[in-house]
Amino acid sequence: MMNLATLVEASAQDYPGQTAVIFNDRKLSYAELNGAANMFANGLKKLGIGRGDKVAVMIPNLPYFPIAYYGILKAGATVVPFNVLFTAREVAYHLQDSDAVALVGFAMFAESAYAGFKQVDSCRHLIMGSADPAQPFAHEDEAVMDFNRFLGMGGSPVFDTVQTSSSDTAVILYTSGTTGSPKGAELTHSNMIMNAILSAELLDAKPGEVALTALPLFHSFGQSVLMNGCFYAGATITLLPRFMPDAALGIMQRDDVTIFAGVPTMYWALYSYPKADQYDIAKIADNLHTAVSGGSALPVELLRNFEERFTVPILEGYGLSETSPVASFNVRRKARKPGSIGIPIWGVQMALVDENDNFIARPKDGADLSEVGEIVVRGHNVMKGYYKRPDATAEVMQGDWFHTGDLARVDSEGYYFIVDRKKEMIIRGGFNVYPREVEEYLMTYPKVSLVAVKGVPDDKWGEEVKAYIVLKPGETATVAEIIDFAKEGLASYKYPRQIEFRSELPMTATGKILKRELVDED
């Protein structure tokens, strides 16, 4: 028997007075967090919600999130995290698709949450947290309850956690749905617990450590690596609902943050923030012992620039929602290789396959890198499958191996180097162009701050390479200037013929650049 809620229960037993959560001037100890989660579980039980039921959570990085998350797990139910920016249509789709019987939301997003909730008859309860706990969330609909009053309905801070099976579904994480409708990856209690344990080790988390949690908790990276990993270790998470570089630096300074995990655009924002000198960067750098990057490829030039300013090495890892999420990492016991996503984590195997699903061999000692192949993964981190989608599951699971859709090379020591997403590869005149390679090179130009490269339709070549560029503050550049620089370091079929300057690039709530939303402004 196994339940993911054990992470909090064990730390509440071993470190009851240790701070588990910081949000501004509010702090929750492990004993208080566990007690509140017990009250939430008692409330769910009174509603008749239990083992096997699905409960959706649409809450930003606030104390409400872990209370609801672990309360749902304690009740034996499955957590279904929602992006807080979902529209009413998206809320309704995910509620319907996941078979959720309840939705836990937050007042700031009440309009879309309620409108979506009302479209799905099978979802019977809406529990809403308010910005001010002293002012309960009020609604004329009897199906809507205030979060804190719901805790009061639960009453007792003691709850006998439902003993779920290790193979039961603990969390359903929906993929971004870049192709077709979003699909829910079913992750078991075993999947999630193993990833939390290994994440704690990778972060070097332990009691007394403080991790800035700006990554959304509804996303696998923030949820598994930071929240679950830190709670397993008895460490503290300090919550930031929306990442802004000034807010992040302020919390780092205030709370003596020792661990930071983010996506590349967060590192870019921290490094390029023009008013960073208003903060005690020396103190921040002295406290910070671990910096982790994931979610998308980290440009090597950005890695070097950030490390020079903050004097902490960035450890890059790799994973997907379907892999709980961590699959590989630059582990401390081995040499770090900038530009690499590291080696597979303990208990996980990774390999590269060609288009015919044949394994690609590692190069021999002294050789460079292998051929490009698709990353496949197997091990304790791989999902059960996509919820109610056996055909979609069969497409990505070949035997024991999960096919990621990501392209990479591997060196003789087993370190993997991401090339690009299989579906983002540009085919120009029959030649393969990997956007990341072009982005990495353009990022080395002194005037360039951020780059996104994608293929655009072209009558002659099929696809043409186009670069969307954000310049550093105060800099100016011409299209011809950028193209001339690109010609110097890229093969003739690789360099971008089209350049578009932007003041910013569209991003997801988790900080990934949304290439599909990059369209010509003219």
> pLDDT digits over 93-103, tens only?
999 999 999 99
How far is the C-alpha of 49 from the C-alpha of 69, rounded, in Å? 14
- Of 301, 250, 269, residue with least CA distance to 439: 301
Count of residues in the chain: 522
pLDDT 10s digits, 131-189? 888 889 999 999 999 999 999 998 899 999 999 999 999 999 998 644 457 899 999 99
Task: Please tell me the distance from the alpha carbon of residue 403 to that of residue 167, in angstroms, as a whole number.
Answer: 21
- Does 11 score more than 90 pLDDT? yes
pLDDT score of 497 more than 60: yes
Burial label for 134, CB within 10 Å (0-12, 13-18, 19+), is exposed
The H or E element spanning position 102 is strand 100-106
Return the minimum-mean-pLDDT range out of 369-378, 450-459, 471-480: 450-459
pLDDT for 211 equals 98
Q: Are 381 and 327 in contact (CB under 8 A)?
A: yes
Does the N-terminal peptide bond of residue 473 adopt cis geometry, omega within 30 degrees of 0?
A: no
3 state SS of 455: strand
Q: What is the pLDDT of residues 442-467, one digit of tens each?
A: 999 999 999 999 999 888 787 899 99
C-alpha to C-alpha distance for 63 and 19, rounded to whole angstroms: 12
> Other CB atoms closer than 10 Å to residue 456's CB: what's the count?
15
Percentage of the chain surpassing pLDDT 90? 80
**Digit-coded pLDDT (tens) for 222-277:** 999 999 999 999 999 999 999 999 999 999 999 999 999 998 889 999 999 999 99
- Orientation angle between helical segments 264-272 and 300-310, nearest 10 degrees: 50
CATH for 345-423? 2.30.38.10
218 burial level (CB within 10 Å; 0-12, 13-18, 19+): buried
Q: What is the model's pLDDT at position 521?
A: 62
Confidence band of 508 (pLDDT split at 50, 70, 90): confident
* Per-residue pLDDT tens digits for 417-443: 998 877 788 888 767 788 888 999 999
Going from N- to C-terminal start, the domains of the chain cover 25-186, 345-423, 425-517
Predicted local confidence at residue 407, as pLDDT: 92
Range in 20-29, 54-63, 171-180, 500-509 with the lowest mean pLDDT: 171-180
425-517, superfamily in CATH?
ANL, C-terminal domain (3.30.300.30)
C-alpha pair distances (Å), 153 with each of 51, 148, 156, 209, 298: 20, 9, 9, 34, 47
Quote the pTM value: 0.86
Q: How far apart are CA 415 and CA 457, in angstroms?
A: 34
Q: What is the pLDDT of residue 177?
A: 46
Q: In angstroms, rounded to a whole number, what is the distance separating the alpha carbons of residues 112 and 511?
A: 22
Across the chain, mean pLDDT equals 93
Q: Which residue in the block uniquely carries the two structure tokens 């809620």? A: 5
State the pLDDT at residue 462. Answer: 79
How high is the pLDDT of residue 420? 81
- pLDDT tens, residue by residue, 287-301: 999 999 987 778 889
Which residues does 110 contact at the CB level (< 8 Å), separation at least 6? 128, 137
Q: Which residues contact 481 (CB under 8 A, 6 or more apart)?
A: none
Instruction: Report the alpha-carbon distance of residue 25 to residue 108 in Å, rounded.
Output: 20
The domain 25-186 is placed in CATH, from the list 3.40.50.980, 3.40.50.620, 1.25.40.10, 3.90.550.10, at 3.40.50.980
What distance in Å separates the CA atoms of residue 186 and residue 175, rounded to the nearest whole number? 11
pLDDT above 80: residue 377:
yes
14 — pLDDT class (breaks 50, 70, 90): very high
